C-alpha cells in the first residue's frame, strides 16, 4: 500500500494532467449541442459533388425566409382593423349643431335654410362610419370593422373614416363652386366647436386577430417521401434544390434522437474532443517541455481553450449569425504574451478545429479564424506597446472583412445581397480583442504568470526596489545595469527572451543590499570588511546574498520567473578566492562551505545571466586590456563554467554559447574603448 502511495506521489504531476485532460473533455462535450449533423456540405449555384442523395426519411420542405415574410405581409395587409364606435355620439353632436347654428348664422340670411341643410348633410356623412381623433399609420385600402358595443356593425376601408385634421378640407371641397362657398370658414368654425371623435382603434383585438391569422401560416410547402431522389451527382444546386437540402439538414439536426442514438453522438463528440486535446498535450510535451512540466501553465492553456469554446457555443445556441462576434484572436494573443508564437498558433488551430464541428458554414468559419490567428501571430510583436496592439487588431479586422467578402462573392456570384451588418460584427470583434490587455493582467494575478507588459514595468529603474538598491549599494546597482545591457544583447543574438533576461539581470543581486560593504564594488573607502573575518565567514556572507535576494524578492512580490535568476546566477559554483585562502591555512577544508546552493541555470535566459554576470564582474580586474586579453578572458571564464557542468540543465547549445562569447567580447571591447595604436 505504501509503495502505491509513493508511486502516486511520485507521479502526481502526470495524474493531474490526466485528470485535467478528462475534465476538460467532459466539460466541452457537455456544452456542445447534442444534435446530429448533416454530413454533406452544399452551396447554392454549385454542383452536388457527392453520390446521389435519397431522402432518408419523410420530411417537410420548409419555406424560405423570403417566402414566409411575403406571406406574412399579405396576411397582415388582408387582416381587418377593428374600431369601437360610440353609438349615441352622432345624435348628441347633431343636437349641438342645431343649438349653435343660430348663434353663428343669422336667420335673416337668404341662404339660412340652405346652409343649415348642407351642414346636417355633411355631419351625417362624417358620422356615417365615424370620426378618428388622429390619422393612423394604416393604408387607405386596409379593411376596417366598426364595432358598437363589441358587435360588428359596419365594414369599410380605412379611407372612408373621417379624420379630425381633414374636416376643413372636406367642408371646403363640399362647398366649392356653390353659392354657399362664402360661408365655408364660419361653417368650419362651427363644426370644430361641436364635432367629437366617436371612433377608437381597438389595437388589442386587431393584434390578436392578426396573431391568430399569422399562426395559421404554414412554414412548409410540401413533403418529400422517404426514398425520393433529392439530387443527383453533378446536378447544380438551384434555389429549389437548395431549399429542399436546407430543409433536410434542419430536420436531421432537430430530430429527437433515441437514447441509443444520443449516446452514440455523445461518444463521437468525446472522441473528437479528446483527440484534439491529446494532440495539444503531446505538442506541449514534445516541443515545450518546460511548459508541460508546469501544471499551472498547462491548466492555463486548457482553461483558455475551454473559455473560447464556451463563449462560441453560447453564441451559436443564442443566434449563430453572431458567431463572428466572439474574439477568438484573443487566444493566440494571450498565449503569445505568456509563452511563444508557435504554442499560441497551435493552440488556436486546435480550438478552431473543435469549434468547426458546431458552427454553421464550418469551412468558411475555420478558414477565417485560422487566417486571423496567423495574422495575429505574425503582426503582434512587443505587446506592451499599445500602438502595436491597435495596428494588429486593425489588420485582423481587415483580414476578416476581406475573407468574408471573398466567400460571399464565391457563394452568391454578386454583391447585391451582401450583409453589411456582418462587417459591423467583425469591427465589434476587433474592438473586443482590445480587451486582451486587462485580461492579461487578470491572468497574471490568477495564475502567477508573467507577461512582457509586467516585465516592462519591472525594468523601470525608478521602481521602489531598484531605487533602494541604487541608494544602499550603488556599485552593485551599476554592475547590474552593465550586466543587463550585456545580457540583453546576448539574448537578442540567440533569439532568447531579451526583456526577461534584462529584468532578471537588474534584480539578480538585490540580496547584496543586506550587507553592501562586504562586496568590492561597494567599497568606496578603501577599507575591506572581510579583513576582520575568517575566510569561512566571508564566504558565508557572499553566498548568503543569493538567499537574501530571494527573501527580498518575495517580500516585494517579484514574479517567480524573475526570482529564478536570483537563485541560479551563481549555480553551484564556488567562492574560489576565500576557498583558496582557507586552504592555505588549513589542510582539511570542506568545499561545500564555499559552494553556492544552486540550482544550476535551467533555461537559456538564466544561463545567459550567469555568463554575463561572471564576465562583467571579473572584467574589473583587467589591467591594460587589449583585444587578445579580452578574448582569452571571456573564453576562460565561460569555458570553466561549461566544464563545471553549469549549463547541463539549460536548453542552450554549444553554438549559442559561442555566439554569446562573441557578443561579450565585442561589448567589452566597446566598454574599454579599445583602439588601434597609431605610430607617434
Instruction: Give residue-wise pLDDT tens across range 15-64.
Output: 999 999 999 999 999 888 766 556 666 767 667 767 787 777 777 887 77
Percent of the chain having pLDDT more than 70?
Answer: 91
| pTM of the predicted structure, to 2 decimals | 0.62
Q: In whole angstroms, what is the distance from residue 119 CA to residue 98 CA?
A: 10
> Residue 553: enclosing H or E segment and its boundaries?
helix 535-555
The whole-number pLDDT of residue 545 equals: 92
Strands (E), 197-321: 199-201, 220-224, 229-231
Per the CB < 8 A criterion, the answer to whether 505 and 546 are in contact is no
Does 432 have pLDDT greater than 50? yes
Q: For residue range 205-244, list pLDDT tens digits in order.
A: 989 988 988 888 777 777 887 778 888 877 777 777 888 7
Q: What is the mean pLDDT of residues 463-475?
A: 92
Biggest distance spanned by C-alpha atoms of the chain: 150
Pairing mode of beta strands 229-231, 143-148: unpaired
User: What CATH code would you report for 464-671?
Assistant: 1.10.3210.10
Please state, in angstroms and rounded to a whole number, the distance separating the CA atoms of residues 573 and 479: 20
Taking the C-alpha atoms of residue 196 and residue 167, their distance in angstroms, rounded to an integer, is 11
Per-residue pLDDT of 492-504, as tens digits, reads 999 888 889 999 9
Rounded to the nearest angstrom, the gap between the alpha carbon of residue 507 and the centroid of all alpha carbons in its chain is: 35
Please report the pLDDT score of residue 346 as a whole number.
Answer: 95
The domain ranges of the chain are 2-32+259-447, 72-214, 464-671
Question: Which one is predicted more confidently, 125 or 110?
Answer: 125
Average pLDDT over residues 3-23: 77
| pLDDT at 678 (0 to 100) | 47
Beta partners for residue 132, in sequence order: 163
| 439-443: average pLDDT | 87
C-alpha dist (Å) from residue 638 to 3, 382, 598, 633: 44, 31, 17, 9
Determine contact, residues 633/619, Cβ cutoff 8 Å: yes
Over 60: is that where the pLDDT of 679 sits? no
Amino acid at each position: 500500500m505504501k509503495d502505491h502511495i509513493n508511486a502516486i506521489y511520485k507521479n502526481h504531476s502526470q495524474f493531474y494532467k490526466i485528470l485535467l485532460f478528462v475534465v476538460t473533455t467532459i466539460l466541452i462535450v457537455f456544452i456542445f449541442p447534442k444534435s446530429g449533423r448533416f454530413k454533406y456540405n452544399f452551396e447554392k449555384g454549385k454542383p452536388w459533388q457527392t453520390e446521389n442523395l435519397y431522402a432518408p426519411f419523410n420530411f417537410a420542405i420548409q419555406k424560405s425566409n423570403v417566402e414566409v415574410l411575403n406571406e406574412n405581409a399579405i396576411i397582415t395587409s388582408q387582416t381587418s382593423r377593428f374600431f369601437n364606435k360610440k353609438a349615441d355620439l352622432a345624435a348628441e353632436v347633431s343636437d349641438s349643431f342645431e343649438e349653435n347654428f343660430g348663434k353663428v348664422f343669422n336667420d335673416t340670411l337668404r341662404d339660412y335654410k340652405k346652409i343649415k341643410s348642407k351642414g346636417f348633410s355633411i355631419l351625417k356623412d362624417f358620422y356615417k362610419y365615424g370620426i378618428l381623433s388622429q390619422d393612423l399609420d394604416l393604408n387607405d385600402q386596409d379593411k376596417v370593422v366598426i364595432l358598437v358595443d363589441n358587435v360588428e356593425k359596419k365594414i369599410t376601408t380605412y379611407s372612408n373614416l373621417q379624420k379630425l385634421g381633414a374636416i376643413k378640407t372636406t367642408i371646403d371641397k363640399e362647398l366649392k363652386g356653390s353659392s354657399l362657398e362664402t360661408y365655408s370658414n364660419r361653417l368650419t368654425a362651427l363644426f370644430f366647436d361641436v364635432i367629437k371623435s366617436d371612433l377608437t382603434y381597438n389595437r388589442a383585438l386587431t393584434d390578436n386577430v392578426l396573431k391568430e391569422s399569422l399562426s395559421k401560416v404554414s412554414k412548409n410547402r410540401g413533403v418529400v417521401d422517404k426514398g425520393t431522389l433529392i439530387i443527383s451527382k453533378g446536378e447544380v444546386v438551384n434555389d429549389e434544390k437548395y431549399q429542399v437540402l436546407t430543409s433536410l439538414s434542419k430536420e436531421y439536426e432537430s430530430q429527437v434522437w433515441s437514447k441509443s442514438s444520443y449516446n452514440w453522438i455523445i461518444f463521437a463528440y468525446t472522441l473528437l474532443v479528446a483527440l484534439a486535446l491529446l494532440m495539444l498535450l503531446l505538442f506541449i510535451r514534445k516541443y515545450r517541455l518546460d511548459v508541460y512540466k508546469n501544471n499551472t501553465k498547462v491548466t492555463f492553456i486548457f482553461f483558455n481553450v475551454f473559455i473560447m469554446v464556451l463563449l462560441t457555443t453560447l453564441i451559436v445556441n443564442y443566434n449563430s449569425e453572431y458567431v463572428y462576434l466572439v474574439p477568438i484572436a484573443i487566444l493566440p494573443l494571450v498565449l503569445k504574451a505568456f509563452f511563444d508564437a508557435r504554442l499560441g498558433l497551435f493552440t488556436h488551430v486546435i480550438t478552431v478545429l473543435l469549434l468547426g464541428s458546431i458552427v454553421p458554414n464550418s469551412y468558411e468559419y475555420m478558414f477565417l479564424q485560422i487566417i486571423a490567428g496567423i495574422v495575429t501571430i505574425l503582426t503582434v510583436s512587443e505587446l506592451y506597446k499599445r500602438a502595436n496592439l491597435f495596428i494588429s487588431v486593425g489588420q485582423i479586422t481587415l483580414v476578416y472583412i476581406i475573407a468574408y467578402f471573398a466567400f460571399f462573392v464565391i457563394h452568391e456570384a454578386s454583391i447585391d445581397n451582401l450583409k453589411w451588418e456582418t462587417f459591423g460584427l467583425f469591427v465589434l470583434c476587433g474592438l473586443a480583442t482590445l480587451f486582451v490587455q486587462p485580461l492579461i493582467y487578470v491572468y497574471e494575478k490568477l495564475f502567477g504568470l508573467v507577461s512582457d507588459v509586467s516585465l516592462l514595468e519591472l525594468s523601470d529603474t525608478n521602481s521602489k526596489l531598484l531605487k533602494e538598491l541604487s541608494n544602499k549599494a550603488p556599485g552593485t546597482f551599476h554592475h547590474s545595469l552593465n550586466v543587463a545591457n550585456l545580457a540583453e544583447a546576448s539574448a537578442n543574438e540567440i533569439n532568447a527572451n531579451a526583456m526577461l533576461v534584462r529584468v532578471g539581470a537588474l534584480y539578480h543581486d538585490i540580496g547584496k543590499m543586506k550587507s553592501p560593504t562586504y562586496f568590492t564594488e561597494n567599497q568606496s573607502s578603501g577599507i575591506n570588511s572581510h579583513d576582520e573575518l575568517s575566510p569561512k565567514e566571508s564566504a558565508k556572507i557572499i553566498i548568503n546574498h543569493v538567499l537574501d535576494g530571494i527573501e527580498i524578492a518575495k517580500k516585494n512580490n517579484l514574479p517567480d520567473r524573475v526570482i529564478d535568476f536570483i537563485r541560479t546566477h551563481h549555480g553551484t559554483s564556488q567562492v574560489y578566492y576565500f576557498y583558496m585562502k582557507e586552504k592555505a591555512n588549513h589542510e582539511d577544508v570542506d568545499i561545500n562551505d564555499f559552494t553556492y546552493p544552486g540550482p544550476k541555470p535551467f533555461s537559456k535566459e538564466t544561463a545567459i545571466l550567469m555568463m554575463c554576470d561572471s564576465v562583467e564582474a571579473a572584467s574589473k580586474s583587467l589591467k591594460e586590456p587589449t583585444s587578445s586579453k579580452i578574448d582569452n578572458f571571456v573564453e576562460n571564464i565561460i569555458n570553466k563554467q561549461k566544464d563545471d557542468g553549469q549549463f547541463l540543465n539549460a536548453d542552450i547549445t554549444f553554438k549559442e554559447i559561442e555566439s554569446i562569447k562573441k557578443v561579450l567580447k565585442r561589448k567589452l571591447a566597446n566598454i574599454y574603448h579599445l583602439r588601434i595604436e597609431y605610430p607617434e
